[in-house]
Structure 1
Amino acid sequence: MAAPTEVAMAAGPAEATEAAELSRALGRLLPGLEADSKLGRRRALEALERALDTAAGPGSDPVTFQGPWAGLLLPRLLRLLADPAEGCRALAVHLGGAALAPHLDDAVRALRSTLLDPFAAVRRESCECAAALARATPDHFHMQSESLIGPLMQTISHQHWKVRVAVIEATGTVIQFGNGKSVDDILSHFAQRLFDDVTQVRQAVTSVVGGWLLSLRDRYSFFHKLIPLLLSSFSDEMPEVRQSAATLWEKVGLQWQKENEEDLKDKLDFASPPPTHYPPQESRPGLGCRELVFRNLSKVLPAICHDITDWVVGTRVKAAQLLPVLLLHAEDHITQHLEIVLRTLQRACADEEKAVVSSCTRSAELVGTFVSPEVFLKLILAMLKKVPSPSGLLVLASVIRGCPRDALRPHVNIIASELAQAHICQGSENDLYLENLLLCVQALVSVCQEDCSAASLQLLEVLVTIMAVSGATGLGDKAQKTLDTLAVVENVPSSQDLYRKHMGTLLEQLTASQGNWTLHSIELLQFIVILTQSGPAIGENLQHVIPTLRTCLQPTADPHMRLKLFSVLSTVLLRPDDTINSQGQFHGHLETVLKDILVPNLQWQAGRTAAAIRTATVSCVWALISSSVLSAKQMQEAQETLMAHVLGTLEEDSMMTRLTSCHIINTFLKTSGDAMDPDKSLKVYPELLKRLDDVSNDVRMAAASALLTWLKCVQSSEAKAYYQSNIQYLYRELLVHLDDPERVIQDAVLEVLKEGSVLFPELLVRETEAVIHKHRSAAYCEQLLQHVQATAAVTL
């Protein structure tokens, strides 16, 4: 640095004297600028201020003034810009500004270059210099500040996070002391830094924006642009960033409230309490914060709603997270913007990104909290009527969940009735659609509790539909649990009692279209759910159930539908006392079941589907006669009606059909005893005899068992002699199977022959002795002969 005398000598004769005097004054005061004590540095600065005011007075030469200033004082003042004492820093800024002003163009030109230097350290130092220059020249800097914004924004995405932080902080100072219009140029860059992976970078954005909201000269004109940036940090992943944003925002609100006390006088004097049902996990923002958001919402909201549907995932997530923060501040003022909010939520709730959907459902809950149901239901139900969608239902469910019970109570019937309408209830079989439809019911039951009682029929219709058409088993289970919950709030023992309460109405509405049902008809699927889930309520409504089954199980009806219904009917018939005969009234419909439902479907028709239907029908017959639903008289009636048709099914390709038919015939024989007409009886055993040649051992065993029962029936018949020639034929055929390769079949046939031996023992002995030598082993024939002899001896 040049010595004071050298500076003085560099000037002309006149100026030299003034420069020398100023240099001597500076020489005395400069050491004080480096004093250890804060007070010493401050006194030195104040003395310098007085000396410089005198030197720079009217008539003074700028050259005389600038020389000592630039050469001696400026470097020290620049160092004092980092002084720990605020007063010293302020004086240093004040004194340095006047000196730097003439060199401002050069300084800015240099910084524009160094801010883009290849070396990160140079960029960081340049940022600090730019901030210091702004602070040092507050009266002149605004004229040059805009030229620094470009280089700063080019550096804001630098790969080194410390450079990014330095840029953000420098930008904060440059705009604070420069031209506020530059805020528009940096907004998108700052918004992008809120996605930065480094916490310190996001913290820097939060601090700078908060600082602008507090102290930017023309901040009022930028509130609607800066508020979203600061409030976006409320959802930052790091607690320290969230806390910093909350603290700054509270200060902003309090400051604005104080600056606008007159305007807010009534609201301050008569503060309104928090809205009822205010979210318990939230702290209500102060009046200033709420007013700031409300007054800027019309400017902020369109941009946020646009960003929620942006093609960039991160942008959508940030915008979606910001929306509930704004709504929490706006409270009932949301109503003025409800249409655009709901339209945006409906679109955003269809997003594939879970974070977007989660934030939007939270926003919808806040709509329910702060907006009257009369208002939001009118809009939401209109949207669902126009285009039913999973996202629309999710919005409705969320709004209901956020709504106070007292406010929602008068609208329960309206909501339930709309949900039960075909255009919504049957709007789609998509699992997501049904899941969100279920969420609506769950929300309504959860919020309104006992108030749902008056709408339980409509809610039951919705739940039955969900269970009927949902492809996912888990969803059906959830619907059943919701039905159980509805039963609890209705104060009835179980969901079956809900069916009992509404079964008649449900079936009347449902079965009106039965003549047009196919396998895919939603009404059919609903009917099946009712049959399988309502339990004893079926027995109370046979006047609806049986005619519907008769219509849908005619041979002319959809064959796949018939297959499904027979399966369901079999299930119901296996538990008659808990279902179809709970009231003991099934006997009144037995003839219809036998003649109009079972018989037509046992008749042979070509094709695999027809064969599958016969199999299903045989299973139904077996369920009917093996349960306890039929009395002895009714069993006899069933036998007379069905026996001939069941005998025909013994020739079916399906092993299960043949096996089940054998069991049915056996049961019929056991219950008829000797009451069967001989002519009809003689038609039974030949068909059973054929089954002894079946490919399935199970069928052969079942046929043998049925033959044994048939022989018992003949034994007790008064017309025993009428059967002799047939019995002789039977003996001969059975003796062939007594030599079967399968030992289990031999054992079964031996038991049949033993049972039949009491009819015509001499005849059996002759037939046995005639073939014994043909058998691979005479053991079974010998056992049979010994049995006949022993029986004869006992008889004698």
Structure 2
Amino acid sequence: MAAAAAAAAATYRVAPTVLHGTMFAEAPHPSTAALIASELKALLLPLVAELGDWTVKTRQRSANTLLGIVWHAGPTCTDHLDQLLPPLMKSVDDDNEEVQKTVQRVVSLVGEACSPSVYVPLLLTQLHSADPDAGSDTSVIAKRGMCLTVLSALVAGAEPTALSPQLAALGEAVAQPTFCMPPAGLDDERSATYTGTQLRLCDFLRSLISRAGADCAAEPPCFSLYSALMRLAAVPSTAGRGFQAQRVALEVIDCLASAGGKPSAAELHAEQMPRLVLQLVGDGSAAASVAPYGNWQAHTPDWHLLQALLRQCDGATAAGQLLYVLPALTRVLDPKQEPVLRATALSLVDSLLSSSSFSSAADLHDWAEDILAALLVPNLVWRAGKAAEHVRLAAMTGVDLLLPLAALKPSQLAKQLDDLLPVLTSCLDDDSVETRRISCSVTNSLLSKLGRGGLNEDRARKLYPELLKRLDDASDAVRLQACAPITAFFEALDYSSIWNQAANFDKANYQYLLRGLLVHLDDPSLEIQEAIFKVLEVGLEVDPPVFASEVLAVRERHRSPKLCDKLAEQARAHGQIV
């Protein structure tokens, strides 16, 4: 009966691509196919044994013979998969390139000749035969990799129509690929084994998508494949390891999007990401302490996955998930959390705020104030240590990106001043040069957004001495950056030369501010002189008579009176006699 089936199949078989260039590139003769099928079991036993022989020549002969036998036997191989697949799985990574290539051809022929409904369950059993969380036993991980390579070759030879019913099972099996996720703290040698298996999983998924096409982009397999690929893209790596698996996983995401007729991966993320985010962080109904993210640490895989999802999707898609994501970010950015975890979370927030599509998204308007108050400001508070210093810098960078956005309204910013201004003035004197520089930029944005009279008299009186201190900073970059917020400070003043309850600045404070600036008009650096001159040009408009008298008072002390004379002349142009 097997012989008759093989003979019948041989009459209509066309040699697949894997046989091109070999001696089996023609359809098998029916009588030959029938003979091989009738003796298949006896033929296979010595051949599969020789695949493990120590001599290359023997393995090559065995692999080539198997290629011809499987091609002639066709569907008859189905009854012998238990006998065929284990040795093929061991030999698919043979040291000899010719043997390896031939074995992969054999596997592909098996996939073409046999029904996926038979071999898929067998291979999935092999894939999960060991404990998915079996420590760092690299031999088990390598075996899983060989299993994936065999599965990939089988799928490459399968008919799409026969493969389609198996997609759900295949997708479910790899949706959470814990079988190739490395535990924390592995050395580079063992990590390389995990990376190799991750790359094999990517190759399998690419092969599956290439073969099944649009069926992979339909539900339920689409979400499972998307989940698997994003989990692979989220596996922590280093530049030294090349981020290989991560890069390839993202390439396969593009293939999945194309299979579904989408112009880019952005549309696939928009479609699939919300469901995966809900799996990760929940719907917000649970308290933070018992929510899925309640115990996240820097090495938690789900935390890495959330970062990858938000970084890889379009900014507008990420903004649309803030309702669910913000509680998780608030939890991981609690100042009680470890600095490494907070630093990675702030890096994510900075990355999102740097995205034009995120910063212009309509959804951000609902959450901008919460991002400032719950995520960023608490991490600006001074704490000892280098790690805490890096956290403050990352938080200040986020504030610098957020404040200029239209999503954060002046009225919302004004409500945060009690919490924001004290930590901002503290950061103006931070040990980190970059934190001090960015703090100046943040102060400039804050004053510009609040506008005229946005600071009350007490806040204005406390802020400007801190800005003047930055003109004496050890870094010229900070000194130059400090000029912008002082200019904005002048523009935000509601000035009265005599005390007025409605004003936020008086003559005495104005004179003190001018004197602090005029010292630097005679700075040894011409660049600083020019920057201060531009600041004073704005400041003179506050009260030209007072300004002129202060300038003339220091004119003779400067090495060159040229800039003082220019400023005095501009004050006269305002119609004042000085």
Structure 2 counterpart of 1:564:
344
CA distance in 2 between partners of 1:315 and 1:783 (Å): 95
Q: SS at 1:675's partner residue?
A: coil
Aligned to 2:436, which of 653, 658, 668?
Answer: 658
Shift of residue 291, structure 1, vs aligned partner: 4.1
Structure 2 counterpart of 1:690:
469
CA distance in 2 between partners of 1:375 and 1:315 (Å): 30
Shift of residue 409, structure 1, vs aligned partner: 1.4
CA distance in 1 between partners of 2:328 and 2:277 (Å): 9
Structure 2 counterpart of 1:748:
531
CA deviations 1:674-724 (Å, max 9, x no partner) are 222111111211111111112222211111121122122225576558532
State yes or no: 1:451 paired with 2:215.
yes
Matched to 1:603, the amino acid is V
Matched to 2:148, the amino acid is L
State yes or no: 1:623 paired with 2:401.
yes
CA deviations 1:155-176 (Å, max 9, x no partner) are xxxxxxxxxxxxxxxxxxxxxx
Structure 1 counterpart of 2:229:
463
Taking a change above 3 Å as real, the CA distance of residues 539 and 772 of structure 1, as seen in their structure-2 partners, is closer
CA distance in 1 between partners of 2:5 and 2:345 (Å): 68
CA distance in 2 between partners of 1:721 and 1:588 (Å): 31
Matched to 1:420, the amino acid is A
Please list, as runs of the form range in 1=range in 2, the aligned pairs for 1:629-668 lying within 5 A after superposition. 629-639=407-417, 641-668=419-446
Aligned to 2:16, which of 279, 286, 302?
Answer: 279
Q: SS at 1:469's partner residue?
A: coil
Asked whether the equivalents of residues 594 and 641 of structure 1 are also in contact (C-alpha less than 8 Å), the reply is no
Considering Cα pairs closer than 8 Å and 6+ residues apart, tell me whether 1 or 2 has the greater RCO: 2
CA distance in 2 between partners of 1:273 and 1:321 (Å): 19
Matched to 1:663, the amino acid is S
State yes or no: 1:400 paired with 2:155.
yes
Matched to 2:77, the amino acid is I
Structure 2 counterpart of 1:727:
510
Structure 2 counterpart of 1:390:
145
Structure 1 counterpart of 2:136:
none
Shift of residue 638, structure 1, vs aligned partner: 5.0
Asked whether the equivalents of residues 350 and 390 of structure 1 are also in contact (C-alpha less than 8 Å), the reply is no
Of 734-743 and 609-618, deviating more is 734-743
CA distance in 2 between partners of 1:290 and 1:364 (Å): 18
CA deviations 1:617-637 (Å, max 9, x no partner) are 111111112333223433444
Q: SS at 2:524's partner residue?
A: coil
Unmatched tracts of structure 2, length 5 or more: 131-140, 184-190, 283-291
Matched to 1:279, the amino acid is P
Of 601-610 and 507-516, deviating more is 507-516
Q: How many residues align?
A: 530
Please list, as runs of the form range in 1=range in 2, the aligned pairs for 1:496-645 lying within 5 A after superposition. 496-511=266-281, 513-535=292-314, 536-575=316-355, 578-579=357-358, 582=361, 584-639=362-417, 641-645=419-423
CA distance in 1 between partners of 2:33 and 2:4 (Å): 15
Please list, as runs of the form range in 1=range in 2, the aligned pairs for 1:475-490 lying within 5 A after superposition. 475-490=245-260
Asked whether the equivalents of residues 550 and 592 of structure 1 are also in contact (C-alpha less than 8 Å), the reply is no
CA distance in 1 between partners of 2:472 and 2:427 (Å): 16
CA deviations 1:49-80 (Å, max 9, x no partner) are xxxxxxxxxxxxxxxxxxxxxxxxxxxxxxxx
State yes or no: 1:736 paired with 2:506.
no
CA distance in 2 between partners of 1:490 and 1:619 (Å): 38
Moved over 6 A (4+): 263-268
Of 666-675 and 318-327, deviating more is 318-327
Of 394-403 and 357-366, deviating more is 357-366
Please list, as runs of the form range in 1=range in 2, the aligned pairs for 1:404-419 lying within 5 A after superposition. 404-419=159-174
Taking a change above 3 Å as real, the CA distance of residues 356 and 520 of structure 1, as seen in their structure-2 partners, is farther
Shift of residue 606, structure 1, vs aligned partner: 0.7
Q: With structure 2 as the length reference, what TM-score do the two structures score? A: 0.84
Asked whether the equivalents of residues 539 and 581 of structure 1 are also in contact (C-alpha less than 8 Å), the reply is no
Shift of residue 510, structure 1, vs aligned partner: 1.7
CA distance in 1 between partners of 2:492 and 2:4 (Å): 102
CA distance in 2 between partners of 1:612 and 1:552 (Å): 16
Structure 1 counterpart of 2:135:
none
CA deviations 1:111-153 (Å, max 9, x no partner) are xxxxxxxxxxxxxxxxxxxxxxxxxxxxxxxxxxxxxxxxxxx
Of 774-783 and 517-526, deviating more is 774-783
Taking a change above 3 Å as real, the CA distance of residues 581 and 318 of structure 1, as seen in their structure-2 partners, is farther
Structure 1 counterpart of 2:261:
491
Asked whether the equivalents of residues 425 and 466 of structure 2 are also in contact (C-alpha less than 8 Å), the reply is yes
CA distance in 1 between partners of 2:303 and 2:93 (Å): 31
Q: Which of the pair has more CA radius of gyration?
A: 1
CA deviations 1:295-314 (Å, max 9, x no partner) are 55434434433333334445
Shift of residue 765, structure 1, vs aligned partner: 4.2
Asked whether the equivalents of residues 445 and 486 of structure 1 are also in contact (C-alpha less than 8 Å), the reply is yes
Matched to 1:703, the amino acid is A
Asked whether the equivalents of residues 369 and 413 of structure 2 are also in contact (C-alpha less than 8 Å), the reply is no
Shift of residue 416, structure 1, vs aligned partner: 0.7
Asked whether the equivalents of residues 380 and 395 of structure 2 are also in contact (C-alpha less than 8 Å), the reply is yes
CA distance in 1 between partners of 2:14 and 2:417 (Å): 68
Structure 2 counterpart of 1:676:
455
Q: SS at 1:560's partner residue?
A: helix
CA deviations 1:256-300 (Å, max 9, x no partner) are xxxxxxx999789x8445576762543122234334444554344
Asked whether the equivalents of residues 198 and 232 of structure 2 are also in contact (C-alpha less than 8 Å), the reply is yes
CA distance in 2 between partners of 1:754 and 1:266 (Å): 99
Matched to 2:222, the amino acid is S
The alignment-based identity, stated in percent, is 29
State yes or no: 1:702 paired with 2:457.
no
CA deviations 1:567-587 (Å, max 9, x no partner) are 2212212336x23763x2333
Asked whether the equivalents of residues 229 and 249 of structure 2 are also in contact (C-alpha less than 8 Å), the reply is yes
Asked whether the equivalents of residues 425 and 462 of structure 1 are also in contact (C-alpha less than 8 Å), the reply is no
Q: SS at 1:514's partner residue?
A: coil
CA deviations 1:599-650 (Å, max 9, x no partner) are 2111111111111011111111111123332234334445554233222211
Aligned to 1:371, which of 114, 120, 137?
Answer: 114
